[in-house]
Amino acid sequence: MPWYLYLALKQLFPSGKRLSFFTAISILGVALGVATLVVTNSVMGGFGYEIRRMIIDTQGEVQIRARSLIENPSEVAAAVSKVPGVVGVTPYAQGVGMLEYGRKPAFPLIQGVDVNRVNDVIPLRRFIRAGSLDDLDDDTVILSSQLAESLGARIGGTVTISSPLLIERLKNDEVFLPRELVVAGIFEIGHQQLDSNTVLVTLRRMQDLYGLGESVHGFNVKIAPGLDADTVAARINAALSAYSEMRAFSWLDANSEFLFVIQMEKNLVSILLLFIILVASFSIMSSLLTTVVRKTREIGLLGALGGRPGQIAACFCVQGFLIGVLGTSGGLALGFGFLHVRNDVLLLFTKLTGSQATLERFYQFSNVPAHIESVDLVVIIAGTIVISTLAGIFPAWRASRLNPVEALRNE
């Protein structure tokens, strides 16, 4: 081992002594910075990841919409199914309606799904918490969990659903009776907005409620794993060129502004938190400069023993690097440790402050999501180690510039 590396290790971890106070503070500073970056990046990334997952799970990777009703859904579905990369197509119709249970009204989004094909695109079965998706037919309904809870609706209970068609018909002196549907299931996606205000019915029931006939509002499309959603959406648009009123949007395209805001928030927070690492790097620099001053005579001695200025500089650079490596390792352990217990911490916090409902309302999720991209992790690790090493460069330069004679005379 080169002597400057050996000495750097010995100065950081002296034989038979504890870690020096300055070194410990420097390592702790870096560790706290890295831990904060990891936790924040993971949680911000987790929100983004959950939102993306939720969008895909509830809409498919590609959505086909039309300016007007799609009157020939079978023909369109057949055309879309032939597009390379498409593995599933399911039609949908949706709209707001009035739902009543035990004289309690609600105005949920009613989603009509094709029970035979919806599972090819949207993993609805995964979200069923009570009852069964197999029990969904034209006389039944599946409620979202929070809507069922707020209404007090249970499996087997009967709800009535009316649509704006009721008013339309009344204008023409016609009677359109609300439909009575039995609750066949309760689902929960994990997104507060969807879980509090969504109702699933069959596509036929929705067409009946909105008077759509055979028409639908659009299609959700699933694509083969690993394919780019934008590419497949472009292929679908090419295949549907004969239908000028229709257009396929990838989930990225359809939610681009929302996704941009999420990404922007994550990037801004990361940039702000980078200042923690910068502050920690000043702590490293200050610690190493103090070491240079304290060890001036030893630096002179190293010169007298035959140490070259570059080697003396390397000794201090290595110390900055090692502080960075140790701080980063500690920070990763601390950060991932905290992420492991994040939900327990949140539960404790919300219990103490009585703010669970508020948190769910504003943040949409009942648990704190966490997801960190490997590239983000690499940037955090590499960035921190580089900044820490750079923090060692100025003290190293100072040490290498010391004249051995002056250094040996230093008292």
Partner 1 sequence: MSEIILEACGLHKTYLSGERRLGVLRDVSLSVEDGESVSIRGESGSGKSTLLHLLAGLDAPDSGRVAWAGRPDTGAVRRARFLGMVFQSFYLIPELDALANVLMAARVAGPVGAEERRRARDLLARVGLDQRSHHLPAQLSGGERQRVAVARALMNSPRLILADEPTGNLDEKTGDSIINLLLGLCTEQGIALVLVTHNASHAARTARTLFMHDGKLQTLQTP
Q: Is 6 in the site for partner 1 (CB under 8 A)?
A: yes
- Give strand ranges (E) for 4-97: 62-70, 86-96
Q: How far is the CB of 6 from partner 1 (least distance, A)?
A: 6
In the complex with partner 1, the residue whose CB is nearer, 16 or 354, is: 16
In the complex with partner 1, the residue whose CB is nearer, 271 or 305, is: 305
Q: Which of 46, 108, 112, 303 binds partner 1 (CB under 8 A)?
A: 303
- End-to-end C-alpha distance for the chain, whole angstroms: 31
Whole-number Å distance between alpha carbons of 186 and 207: 22
At a CB cut-off of 8 Å and minimum separation 6, what does 180 contact? 158, 159, 160
Q: Which of 224, 268, 278, 304 binds partner 1 (CB under 8 A)?
A: 304
- Bridge-based pairing of strands 62-70 and 246-250 is antiparallel
Q: How far is the CB of 31 from partner 1 (least distance, A)?
A: 23
Write the binding mask 16 to 45 for partner 1: x where contact by CB under 8 A, - elsewhere.
xx----------------------------
Helix (H, G, I), strand (E, B) or coil at 379: helix
The answer to whether 121 and 77 have CB atoms below 8 angstroms apart is no
Q: Which stretch binds partner 1 (CB under 8 A): 166-174, 201-209, 352-360, 401-409?
A: 401-409
Helix (H, G, I), strand (E, B) or coil at 98: strand
Q: How far is the CB of 338 from partner 1 (least distance, A)?
A: 34
At a CB cut-off of 8 Å and minimum separation 6, what does 120 contact? 87, 88, 89, 90, 222
Q: Is 7 in the site for partner 1 (CB under 8 A)?
A: yes
Which DSSP helix (H) or strand (E) runs through 53?
A: helix 21-59
In the complex with partner 1, the residue whose CB is nearer, 226 or 306, is: 306
Q: Which of 29, 131, 300, 331 binds partner 1 (CB under 8 A)?
A: 300
Which positions touch partner 1 (CB under 8 A)? 2-3, 6-7, 10-11, 14-17, 297-298, 300-308, 403-405, 408-409
